[in-house]
Amino acid sequence: MKLIFIALNEFKLLLRDRPAVLMMIAVPIAVITVTGFALGGIYGKSEAFVRIYLPIVDLDEGFVSKSLVETLQKDRTLEVEVTEYRKAAKLVRDENKAAAALIIPENFTADIISRKPVSLRLLTDPAKGLEVMTAKALITASAVKLASGTGSGGTGLGSVEIKGENLTGIKGNISSFDENVPGFSIMFIMFGVLLGFSEGIFRERDEDHTLKRLLVAPVTKFSILGGKLFARTVIGLVQMSALFVFGYFAFSISLGNSMPGMFLTILGVAFSASCIGLLISSLSHSREQARSLGTLTILTMAAMGGCWWPLFIEPKWMRNLSHVVMPAWAMDCFFDLMLRGKAVADILPPMGGLYLYGVIALLLGFYLSNRVLLRQL
Amino acid sequence: MIEIRNLEKSYSNVEALRGLSLTLKQGEIFGLLGPNGAGKTTLISILAGLVMPTRGEGLIEKKSIFRQTGDVKKIIGLVPQELSLYASLTGKENLNFFGRMYGVKRKALRERVSSLLDLAGLNDKRDDLVRTYSGGMKRRLNLVCGLVHSPVYVLLDEPTVGVDPQSREHIFHNIRRLKEEGISILYTTHYIEEAEKLCDRVAIMDEGRIMAIGSTNDLLADHGCPDLETLFLKLTGKGLRD
């Protein structure tokens, strides 16, 4: 019987902590919802189906090449745009809008009809490895189908070759680690730094009571919060650097050509994560609330920002929203540096986005800390 | 000297202080007595610069507590009611850190920390983590952490809660030593016998107001009470407050 009373008391205690109960439901619902929407495309729901943008340059303009373009246009996985060479190359190399662009060479139709071996050129951005692989498979399937239809049959099937040309990459083979090391590092830095900051400050305020002693000393609030943010940023920097070094030696991930770029990006992630931690603390009333809100924020940001999977598998509306969260800016920086071999000067826009995110969180966090976090002493 | 005039503080619909005025003279121990919710901690928080009053003026050595906070904080030491210590640091590290926060120079701090550890009777435990300290040791360290910058005024918010008689005696001894050094002390407590024993003057507070103020002997004579506890209950009533 006492066991029952103890259990009932546990239920009562849990129900008294309403924010915790709410978060018990809200956190998984948010993660399930974001994940469900993000992965909706690969389960074939028409409106959310994965769409790969594929510029095509038809230098042949014969009936076979036009048939190939039409076949590819009918594929609901592809979003085809027929364009000219310079624009196609720019979309892949400079704008990162397309993972690949298909170049149908001159005499393609004539060569197919005369059963000569033909090559299709695929300009690629290896930083979007999975997307390139998918596009290549779809083009191959269409080309094979077309070759069968035009009567080139068995001999023609093997003779359509797709030759990839990396326009941006610095590394031939990209492994899953090249995507996973930055993605999961960002997520775990957020866990360490963001939750570390927000839980730490509540521990100092409500359990150790040392924040009170700091506030009565001739120390500004800027110094108190700034000192804590600085420490968390350095911890995040060291932690993330260690993960990349491990990735380099254990899995041969690319670190790109710009060490200053990698340093600044890692610093930006650690800084922004710390500042988001301050903002989370300033929006919370207790350590438990900060923990729940922080976890919700981290998991949602990781899912939306491309830490768990490449963004191209998400529906377009989610991809458009991805840069609302910090990890998307960080992933852009890492891919540009590690897989496209860019320099710091080339990644100023995403780097600016990453730091701006931190600065906005910092200013909001400082402003709100006066109203909630530090006022409740 | 600390002078407080017509201090008022409201929290949404609660009036914590209602036109409170008092003076703390140089080198005296001033006891602040009152039931829970009387406004003692609010007053201490205002004097320490943690909370701004709704109305009123406060001066410490003729400097405004609310406008010259930087200067005032340097000469005030707060010993909070809660143990305000880093449990994962040693006693010495706690003192060093808080000393740095008050801008105490390295050499002076080294000497100050050593003398405060002596004062707290913790010199042999100086390098032990605070989490390994007993309740009394933590209380004694909590007290000296508020003295690390050699303040002229010390605000002691119930510094003897939960300590054994030996530690309490030790704390009393230290408070008397501070008085001998010319330090002024504002001492809040629920233990009326502590106020009788230690304080030069006491004020009995209730509902944000001072109900009576003066030396213990004068108050007892004025109100015709045999002891301070009888006077306290006479002025604040016997009804439960929380």
Q: Where are the domains of chain A?
A: 44-166, 174-371
Which of B82, B86, B102 lies closest to A217 in CB terms? B102
User: CB A216 to CB B50 under 8 A?
Assistant: yes
Contact residues on chain A for B76, CB-CB shorter than 8 A: 216
Residue A153 has pLDDT above 50, yes or no: no
* Per-residue confidence band for A33, with pLDDT thresholds at 50, 70 and 90: confident
Q: What value does the mean pLDDT take over residues A108-116?
A: 83
Q: What is the pLDDT of residues A192-250, one digit of tens each?
A: 999 999 889 999 999 999 999 999 999 988 899 999 999 999 999 999 999 999 999 99
Residue A292 has pLDDT above 90, yes or no: no
* Per-residue confidence band for A157, with pLDDT thresholds at 50, 70 and 90: very low
Query: Tell me, what's the ipTM?
Result: 0.89
Residue A106 has pLDDT above 60, yes or no: yes
User: CB A217 to CB B82 under 8 A?
Assistant: no
> What's residue A171's pLDDT?
63
* Per-residue confidence band for A23, with pLDDT thresholds at 50, 70 and 90: confident
> What's residue B111's pLDDT?
95
Which of B85, B86, B101 lies closest to A217 in CB terms? B101
Interface test with B, best of A212, A213, A371 (most B CBs within 10 A): A213
Which of A209, A217, A219 lies closest to B83 in CB terms? A209
Residue type, B138: K
Phi, psi torsion values for A315, nearest 5 degrees? -65, 160
Residue A91 has pLDDT above 70, yes or no: yes
Q: Which of B88, B81, B226 is nearest to B155 (CA)?
A: B81
Residue B139 has pLDDT above 80, yes or no: yes
CA distance A339 to B177: 70
User: CB B84 to CB A218 under 8 A?
Assistant: no
Nearest CA in chain A to B94: A210
Q: What value does the mean pLDDT take over residues A304-333?
A: 88
Assigned CATH class of A44-166: alpha beta
Q: What is the pLDDT of residues B5-23, one digit of tens each?
A: 999 998 878 888 998 999 9
Domains annotated for chain B, with CATH where assigned, are 2-236 (3.40.50.300)
Q: What value does the mean pLDDT take over residues A27-31?
A: 84
> What's residue A352's pLDDT?
97
With left for phi above 0 and alpha for psi between -120 and 50, is residue A96 left, alpha or beta?
left
Nearest CA in chain B to A208: B84
More confident call, A114 vs B75: B75
> What's residue A101's pLDDT?
93
Contact residues on chain B for A216, CB-CB shorter than 8 A: 48-50, 73, 76, 78
More confident call, A374 vs A71: A71
| Gap from A36 CA to chain B (nearest CA, Å) | 43
Q: What is the pLDDT of residues B63-107, one digit of tens each?
A: 898 888 888 999 999 999 899 999 999 999 999 999 999 999 999
Which of B69, B73, B80 lies closest to A212 in CB terms? B80
> What's residue A42's pLDDT?
67
Nearest CA in chain A to B138: A208
Residues in A whose CB is inside 8 Å of some CB of B read: 208-210, 212-219, 377
Which of B73, B83, B87 lies closest to A216 in CB terms? B73
Contact residues on chain A for B12, CB-CB shorter than 8 A: none
User: CB A216 to CB B102 under 8 A?
Assistant: no
Q: Are A187 and A302 in contact (CB under 8 A)?
A: yes
* Per-residue confidence band for B163, with pLDDT thresholds at 50, 70 and 90: confident
Phi, psi torsion values for B109, nearest 5 degrees? -65, -40
Chains A and B: how many Cβ contacts under 8 Å? 47
Q: What value does the mean pLDDT take over residues B169-182?
A: 90
* Per-residue confidence band for A156, with pLDDT thresholds at 50, 70 and 90: very low
CA distance B77 to B94: 15
> What's residue A119's pLDDT?
86
| Gap from B131 CA to chain A (nearest CA, Å) | 11
User: CB A218 to CB B48 under 8 A?
Assistant: no
